[in-house]
């Protein structure tokens, strides 16, 4: 049952998110003050803190919404018959696109999810676990198809890909890699991971 109170809460939360999306996109995150945001959402400054703990929390919520959406899509569309390399590239490139589409958002999001504050740990781990739930079945299938070694821990395999993805994003923020080169670079480094660094006998 939906009490009057609960309905209003949802509306207010939505109003904040909406205002945030608009203002952050228009003026950037740092240039948007909480007070402005509150005004745009038609509420008082303090009220925001009943919905979000910090300013970055708002950004976070936004990013997570987007990514969750993305993941759902991927699960549906993920074609389990194409090579695992392609699948991984597709998945991470989708995320990459999301990150790079708004530089500011992306940077903050990556900073906070890759090296999270202790206070954010719980939420962070939850999010990561969802990720694993998405990836593990794909990797398992690949193992069965003989594309991946079976003696490796799935967590380590995911980690391997994820680490290389981090590298890509880092390189992009450093300007070492342009947006257009990204897919090629990711594919290169992923297949390098598949084949290994030491020479084949």
Partner DNA sequence: AAAAATTATCGACCGTAGTCAGATTTTTTT
Partner DNA sequence: AAAAAAATCTGACTACGGTCGATAATTTTT
Q: Is 93 in the site for DNA (CB under 7 A)?
A: no
The CA distance from 63 to 76, in Å, is 20
Q: Is 133 in the site for DNA (CB under 7 A)?
A: no
Contact flag: residue 147 with a second copy (CB under 8 A): yes
Judged by CB under 7 A, which of 18, 33, 111, 191 binds DNA? 33
Binding-site partner at residue 24 among a second copy, DNA, none, CB < 5 to 8 Å by type: none
Write down the least CB distance from residue 126 to DNA, Å. 21
8 Å CB contact between 158 and 139 = yes
Instruction: Report how far apart, in Å, the C-alpha atoms of 153 and of each of 101, 147, 195 are.
Output: 33, 14, 17
Two structure tokens written together for 114: 């890759």
| Residue 77 touching a second copy (CB under 8 A) | no
The CA distance from 52 to 59, in Å, is: 10
Q: Contact, 165 vs 92, CB < 8 A?
A: yes
Instruction: Return the residues of window 83-122 that contact a second copy according to CB under 8 A.
Output: 103, 107, 110-112, 114-118, 121
Binding site for DNA (CB under 7 A): 3-5, 8-9, 12, 30, 32-35, 43-47, 49-50, 53-56
């Amino acid at each position: 049952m939906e009490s009057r109170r609960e309905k209003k809460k949802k509306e207010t939360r939505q109003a904040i998110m909406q205002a945030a999306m608009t203002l952050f996109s228009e003026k950037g995150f740092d240039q948007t003050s909480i007070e402005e945001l509150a005004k745009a959402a038609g509420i008082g400054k303090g009220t925001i803190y009943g919905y979000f703990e910090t300013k970055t929390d708002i950004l976070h919520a936004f990013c997570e919404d987007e990514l969750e959406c993305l993941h759902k899509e991927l699960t549906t569309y993920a074609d389990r018959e194409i090579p695992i390399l392609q699948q991984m590239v597709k998945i991470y490139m989708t995320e990459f696109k999301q990150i790079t589409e708004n530089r500011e958002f992306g940077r903050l999001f990556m900073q906070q999810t890759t090296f999270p504050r202790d206070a954010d740990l719980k939420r962070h781990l939850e999010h990561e676990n969802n990720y694993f739930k998405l990836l593990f079945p794909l990797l398992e299938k690949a193992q069965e198809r003989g594309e991946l070694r079976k003696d490796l821990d799935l967590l380590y395999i995911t980690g391997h890909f994820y680490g290389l993805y981090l590298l890509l994003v880092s390189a992009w923020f450093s300007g070492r890699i342009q947006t257009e080169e990204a897919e090629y670079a990711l594919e290169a480094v992923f297949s390098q991971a598949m084949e290994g660094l030491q020479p084949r006998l």
